[in-house]
Structures are given as C-alpha cells and as structure tokens.
A and B are shown apart, each in its own frame.
Chain A
Amino acid sequence: MFSYSVVGAQLYVGDMLFVMITFLVLMWLVKIVAWKPITKMMQDRSDKIVNDIDSAKESRTKAAELAQKRQAELDKTRDDANGIINNAKQNGQRQRDQIVEDARNEASNLKSSAEKDIEQQRQEALANSRKDVASLSIDIASKIISKELNEDDQKGLVDSYIEGLGKQK
C-alpha cells in the first residue's frame, strides 16, 4: 500500500531532482501569477493608507487653523457688536438726559415767564385800580367841593356813591 516503510526506504535521486525542479518552477509560476500582483497591490494599499493618513492629518490641521481663525473673528465681531451696543446705549443715555434737561429748562422758562406775566398783569391791575381809586377820589373830591352839602345830603351822597360803586363793579 505504501511505497516505503521507514526502514526500507530507498533513495530515489531522481525524485529529489524532480521535487527540487518542480518546487522551483512552482515558485516561479506563483511569483508570476500571484505574488507580484498581490505584493504590488498590498504595497499600493499601504502607500495609499499612508498618503491618506498624511493628507487627513494635513486637512485636520487646516481645519483646526480655520476654526481658530473663525473663532477669533467671531470674538472680534462680538467685541465690535458689544462696543456698538455700548456706544448706542451711551448715546441714548446722553440724548435722554439732554431731552430731559431741555424739557426741564423749557418748563422752568415757561413757568418763569408765566409768573412774570402774572406779576405784570397783577401790577397792571393794581396800577389800574390805583388809577381808578385816584380818579374816583378826585371825582369824589370834586363832587364834594363842587356841591355844598349838609350833613344829610353828604350822607346821602356818600351812600349813593358807595351804591354807585357797587353798581359799577
């Protein structure tokens, strides 16, 4: 059944030669058929992976740079906006104060001029009444003087005058 028992092995030199040659031929054929293309493919792949890793690293740094730049710009913009808002607030405050001040001034002006008017009118009225009193006194005096009166007449005259005064008012 088996060609050899362990002990009774014959040395077939031809077989040795055959094994060597077939093995070398097999190696050569495997090299042509599969080894070269598969090794090349694996090399290509590892190259590609290395390249991809490199480019990924590069783009990540770029992205980080970009993000940083954008963050900086964002901060700057926020600062600007804050500045603008603060400015506006200050302006508004100032304007409000101005308006209130103006209003207050105007009100006080109005008040003082009104007071002045009132005072003037009062003075005028006083002057008028004083004039009236004076003229009245002159009238009364002239009437007293022009007419010699007895006591009753005088009394009647004063009464009528006072009555007239009441009517005149």
Chain B
Amino acid sequence: MGDSAASTFEFLGLTFNVGNMISISLACVVVLVLVYALSRHLTLKPGKAQNVLEYAVDFTNGIVRSSISGETSRTLGLWGFTLFMFIIIANLQGLFLHIDISGVTYVKSPTSDPVITMTLALMTLTLAQFLGIRKLGYKGHFQNYLKPFVFFLPINLFEEFTNFLTLGLRLFGNILSGEMLLGIILGMSHGGAVMWIVSFILELAWTGFSVFIGCIQAYVFVVLSSVYISRKLELED
C-alpha cells in the first residue's frame, strides 16, 4: 500500500489526477447509459425496465421527502436521484474493474479517493447553505448559528465543519477499506494453490460484502445530505 504514485498533470495551475478523471467519467457514463437504457419506451403502464427506474426514483424521492418537506423536496428529487445513482455506481465500479498500469491506478472506485468524496460532501453542504439562505433569507439563515444561545456560534460552526468531514470521510473510508482489503486478499493468492483457493473464497465473500456496503453507503450519504439540508431550511428556536 502506501504507493502514492499517480499520473497527474497541471492545467491552469490546477493539478489533475488522470486516474480519478477516468474513474469519474466512467462512473458518469455508466450511470448515464443505465438511466438511458431504463428510460426508453416510457408508457403509462410500466414495463420491466421502467419499473426498475421508477422504483429507484421513488426510493430516492422517499429519502429526500422523508427529511425535507414542501416545495423544496420536489426540486431536490433530481439531485437525490443523481447523487444516489452516481455514488452507488462509483462504489461498485472499483469492485468489478480495477486497472493498474505500472503501479499507477487508472480505473477504480472514484469514491475511494477522499478528494472526490469530500467534494461531494462540500457540494451538498454548499447546496444546504444556498437553499437555507434562499428559504430564510440571510438574516434568518445566519441567526440559526446563534441558536440556542449566542455562545453556541463556535459549536455550530464546528458542527458544520464536522458534518462536512464525516460525510465525506465516511464514504471514502468504507470504500477505500473495501478495496484495500480486496487488494490484500488478492496479494495472498500468490502463495500457492491452497492459498489461492482460500483467498478465492475470501475474495468472493468480501466482494459480496463490499457490494452491500457500497449500497448502504450510497443510501447513508443521500439520507445524511437530505438531513443536513433540511436542518438549514427551518428556523431553530
């Protein structure tokens, strides 16, 4: 492990990681293709593919609506759906496809990179701030930081920061550990036939578990994002 080799390049003073870019783009393409394939021939009486898509839409809508009420939840449906689909595909991608070329990873789970999960978390919390200001106005929004007492201001600010950190790091940690353990088990398989069989069984079990964790984490991410947003949408007292 500890191998931090990555193919990077500089553009406009910003560092880009090629592996991340490929992984993200692949995940996006998979999501898009999947959604595209499922949304063909929409009818009032749904077919199989349409049912799958509608179930997913209902599922994410349910998550969003369970914590956010009113008009905002309807506009956030698309956000929740895209976020869920992207994270779940990103989580599973590394389990099925992991391409290393001369020590540099090119395809993996994008969500096993803290920069990406933190960015998703940052986007969510920025969205929360934005929606909060739009709903309550600047005054109402920033007054929430002074509740219940003025002295809670540092605690509230700190909470904001920890929300951001935990939201991003939880997803990153779960996915990274899954992939890391898969790598370790894979490494075990080089120690002879018996080890190969043992590691095959372990790999199988751990992959299944990682799929489970990937789905759970996507769900958790969307749920927590909704909760964080909903907390910004109401005046505390």
- A residues 11-36 near B (Cβ < 8 Å) are 11-20, 22-23, 25-27, 29-31, 33-35
**Quick check: is B69 within 8 A (CB to CB) of the other chain?**
no
Nearest Cβ in chain B — how far from A7, in angstroms? 9
Residues of chain B lying within 8 A (CB to CB) of residue A34:
35-36, 38-39, 53
Q: A12-B16, A16-B119 are in contact. Are A3 and B6 (CB under 8 A)?
A: yes
Q: Which applies to chain A's interface (DSSP): helix, strand, loop or mixed?
A: helix
Residues of chain B lying within 8 A (CB to CB) of residue A35:
57, 77-78, 81
User: With A and B bound together, what is the CA distance between A13 and B16 in angstroms?
Assistant: 7
A5 and chain B: residue at smallest CB distance: B2
Nearest Cβ in chain A — how far from B111, in angstroms? 10
Chain B contacts to A: CB under 8 angstroms: 1-6, 8, 11, 14-17, 19-21, 24-25, 28, 31-32, 35-36, 38-39, 42-44, 46, 50, 53-54, 57, 77-79, 81-82, 85-86, 100, 103, 105, 108, 110, 112-116, 118-120, 122-123, 173, 176, 179-180, 183
Some 22 contacts from A to B, beta carbons below 8 A apart, are A1-B105, A3-B5, A3-B113, A4-B114, A6-B114, A6-B176, A10-B4, A12-B15, A14-B11, A15-B16, A15-B116, A16-B116, A18-B21, A20-B123, A23-B123, A26-B32, A27-B78, A35-B81, A38-B42, A38-B57, A41-B42, A41-B46
Chain A contacts to B: CB under 8 angstroms: 1-6, 8-20, 22-23, 25-27, 29-31, 33-35, 37-39, 41-42, 44-45, 48
